[in-house]
Amino acid sequence: MESFNTDDELYKNIRKRLKKDLDRKRYVHTKGVADVSLCLAMSYGVDMKKAYLAGLLHDNAKCIPTDEKRNLCKKYQIVLNNAEKKNPELIHAKLGAYRLKDVFHIDDEDIFSAIACHTTGKPKMSVLDKILYIADYIEPNRRPLPMLDEVRKMAFRNLDQTILLILESTLSYLKDKNAEIDKKTQETYQYYKELLLKQEEL
């Protein structure tokens, strides 16, 4: 097995850069997500290095001012959908994925995918995609969210069931707020609901 150590220069340099680019709260959240991604990777047999990097880097674009986010999307030729145009808080996922190679010199399709879909999810997520999506929700420093205790317990038992719980909770939160629901969020919910129903029928 390839050696892994969170004290390697690679991770130290990334943390140093993130500490500069993110506000204090976001930096603490980021370290929480990286640690939980690592635990889930151990539990589900995923590459620890990829899981730790995905966790560390998932919100790398979060604290960029909105106008600059839009300019950077043009630079990377990122096409924004309607929900992203109306809700700029969604942009940091795709933008963060494109900055991986350019800013952090990480060229890895699996990490790119996990970061690009970490806010909305997507149908047919890889195990790494699921781990990051879940770690973002359950990391220890998150403010109390609905169903958090159940979601935390489920995370180490069944990834798909956990994804569905998180999506249910997110959709009901967004509906309460009257926020525009990204097509991807709705599609992901539908996909995992049907998948779990089919599994129950077996």
Residue 69 is a binding residue for ligand DGI (CB under 6 A): no
Segment contacting ligand DGI by CB under 6 A, of 48-56, 97-105, 113-121, 149-157: 113-121
Q: State which of residues 35, 180, 187, 196 lies at the interface with ligand DGI (CB under 6 A).
A: 180
User: Nearer to ligand DGI by C-beta: 49 or 118?
Assistant: 118
Segment contacting ligand DGI by CB under 6 A, of 3-11, 45-53, 109-117, 178-186: 178-186
We find the least distance from the C-beta atom of residue 101 to Fe ion, in angstroms, to be 19
> What is the residue whose two structure tokens read 């990122």?
78
Residues 95 and 101: beta-carbon distance below 8 Å? no
CA distance 66 to 92: 9
56: CB partners within 8 A, 6+ apart: 11, 14, 15, 18, 30, 31, 33, 34
For residue 1, what are its two tokens?
Answer: 């097995």
Q: What angle do CA 70, 120, 146 make, to 5 degrees?
A: 120
Q: What type of residue sits at position 136?
A: D
CA distance 92 to 76: 13
Q: State which of residues 40, 51, 56, 59 lies at the interface with Fe ion (CB under 5 A).
A: 59
Residue 94 is a binding residue for ligand DGI (CB under 6 A): no
> Of the candidates 202, 123, 201, 116, which has an alpha carbon nearest to the alpha carbon of residue 164?
123
Please tell me whether residue 65 adopts helix, strand or coil conformation: coil
Which of Fe ion, ligand DGI, none does 185 bind, CB closer than 5 to 8 A by kind?
ligand DGI
Segment contacting ligand DGI by CB under 6 A, of 37-45, 103-111, 116-124, 151-159: 116-124
Q: State which of residues 37, 60, 113, 120 lies at the interface with ligand DGI (CB under 6 A).
A: 120
Q: Residue 87 has what DSSP assignment? A: -
User: Nearer to ligand DGI by C-beta: 8 or 86?
Assistant: 86
Binding site for ligand DGI (CB under 6 A): 29, 59, 62, 83, 87, 89-90, 93, 118-120, 136, 170, 174, 179-182, 185
